């Protein structure tokens, strides 16, 4: 097959491309330019789309012996990921830009361009596994290395996208990948992993959002509605946040307080005790299914954060009878193992064992003994 290898400039994507070549595929390396001004995004070990990353990717492609190109995806990335990130925070939600990047850029815009150029699919360095099920459908499963498993951020992929996706690292551990890179003579063998959000140059999310959105004054209140202090923007807070609240006045019981709710219109941020963060049910919207959407209630597990634990759950999908589109459905999740500090805007990824069933964007949560948030 003719495959495009998405090469970020890191060790994982380099080894993935090399393994695809070893498997007999005709591979072309591609680095995604996600910003017209790379210095505006993170650099070094904390980024994945800088000039040095592009150079590292090119050197890796040369060492592997494959053609290499840089594809300008800056416009698509700005609209689908950066602008979405800002608008979600403005609406009081907590988005995951990596999921959006996978959904809209790496496995949509890139795949679409690759197919238009005559390629058969895309290779990435994600830690996940693709298999063909007994029903002939392509399934995505968790990686062997659970510490590096990235199936959560890939839970937005559809059957068509999965059928054209290749994840050569799914059966490997990170130390094995680094050793292999060194044996292959790849200079990125010891390069640190990238972290956090690539388009926030200094890692200060709140400061970056303040520049984009501007001041939106509001108040921080306790559960009784008493105003504890004013703030410059509700977008600087996330559900479950404890640090940086600067409340000054301690709670009556002396225990720490956490962000329980964010009301974006009034800018009211409500804080309270940790036990009020527990969630035992949630609704999700705009679902994406890796295979077929569940037609009945299923007992499964769900993951609610990129590096979070699995929670036993019951999941039911309610379809709008007047709309022939799975994305118009609502996903209802009953958590048999309550979760703490779950925020609207995060992704709920559904698993059947190690198999990824699909995902939905959390639109509403329910805390025990309280009304929906």
Would you please indicate which residues are annotated as catalytic (active-site) residues?
101, 198
Q: What is the per-residue pLDDT for 44?
A: 45
From first to last of the 373 residues of the chain, give the pLDDT tens digit: 999 999 999 999 999 999 999 999 999 999 998 876 655 554 444 445 667 888 999 999 999 999 999 999 889 999 999 999 999 998 888 888 888 988 889 888 899 999 999 999 999 999 999 999 888 999 999 999 999 999 999 999 999 999 999 999 999 999 999 999 999 999 999 998 876 677 877 778 888 899 889 999 999 999 999 999 999 999 999 999 999 899 987 788 888 999 999 998 899 999 999 999 999 999 999 999 998 889 999 999 999 998 889 999 999 999 877 776 777 789 999 999 999 989 999 999 999 999 999 999 999 998 755 544 5
Per CATH, 2-190 and 276-367 having the same topology is answered: no
**Which H or E run contains 271?**
strand 268-272
Q: What is the per-residue pLDDT for 45?
A: 43
User: Quick check: helix, strand or coil at residue 345?
Assistant: coil
CATH of 215-272, one of 3.40.50.1100, 1.10.3720.10, 3.40.440.10, 2.30.30.280: 2.30.30.280
Cite the beta strand spans of 105-167 per DSSP E.
121-123, 128-132, 138-142, 165-166
Q: What is the per-residue pLDDT for 170?
A: 97
Residue 82 DSSP class: I
Q: What is the per-residue pLDDT for 166?
A: 97
Q: What is the pTM of this model?
A: 0.89
Distance CA 10, CA 242 (A): 33
276-367 CATH fold:
Elongation Factor Tu (Ef-tu); domain 3 (2.40.30)
Q: What is the per-residue pLDDT for 270?
A: 96
Question: What are the extents of the domains in the chain?
Answer: 2-190, 215-272, 276-367
Which of 284, 267, 296 is CA-nearest to residue 345?
A: 284
Q: What is the per-residue pLDDT for 20?
A: 98
Which of 364, 360, 348, 353 is CA-nearest to residue 304?
A: 348
CATH 2.40.50.100 fits 2-190, yes or no: no
Instruction: Compute, in degrees rounded to 10, the torsion defined by CA atoms 300, 293, 140, 66.
Output: -160
């Amino acid at each position: 097959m003719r495959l495009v290898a998405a090469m970020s400039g890191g060790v994982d994507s380099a080894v993935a491309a090399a393994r695809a070549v070893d498997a007999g595929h005709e591979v072309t390396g591609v680095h995604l330019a996600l910003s017209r001004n790379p210095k505006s995004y993170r650099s070094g070990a904390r980024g994945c789309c800088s000039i040095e990353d592009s150079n590292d990717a090119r050197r890796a492609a040369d060492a592997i012996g494959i053609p290499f190109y840089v594809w300008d995806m800056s416009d698509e990335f700005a609209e689908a990921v950066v602008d979405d990130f800002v608008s979600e925070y403005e609406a009081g939600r907590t988005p995951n830009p990596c999921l959006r990047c996978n959904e809209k850029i790496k496995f949509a815009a890139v795949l679409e361009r690759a197919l238009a150029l005559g390629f058969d699919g895309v290779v990435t360095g994600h830690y996940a596994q693709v298999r063909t099920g007994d029903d002939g459908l392509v399934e995505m499963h968790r990686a062997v290395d659970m510490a590096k498993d990235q199936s959560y951020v890939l839970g937005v992929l559809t059957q068509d996208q999965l059928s054209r996706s290749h994840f050569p690292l799914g059966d490997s551990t990170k130390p094995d990948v680094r050793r292999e890179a060194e044996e292959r003579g790849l200079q990125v063998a010891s390069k640190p992993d990238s972290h956090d959000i690539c388009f926030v140059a200094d890692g200060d999310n709140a400061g970056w959002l303040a520049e984009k959105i501007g001041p939106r004054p509001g108040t921080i209140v306790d559960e009784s509605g008493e105003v504890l202090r004013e703030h410059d923007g509700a977008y600087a807070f996330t559900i479950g946040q404890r640090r940086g609240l600067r409340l000054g006045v301690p709670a009556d019981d002396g225990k720490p307080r956490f962000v329980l709710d964010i009301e974006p219109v009034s800018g009211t941020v409500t804080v309270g005790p940790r036990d009020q963060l527990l969630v035992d049910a949630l609704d999700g919207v705009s679902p994406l299914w890796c295979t077929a959407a569940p037609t009945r209630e299923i007992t499964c597990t769900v993951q609610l954060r990129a590096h979070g634990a699995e929670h036993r759950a019951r999941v039911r999908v309610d379809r709008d009878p007047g709309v022939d589109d799975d994305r118009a459905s609502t996903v209802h999740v009953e958590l048999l193992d309550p979760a703490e500090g779950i925020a609207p805007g995060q992704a709920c990824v559904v698993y059947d064992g190690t198999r990824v069933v699909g995902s939905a964007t959390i639109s509403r949560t329910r805390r025990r003994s309280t009304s929906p948030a």
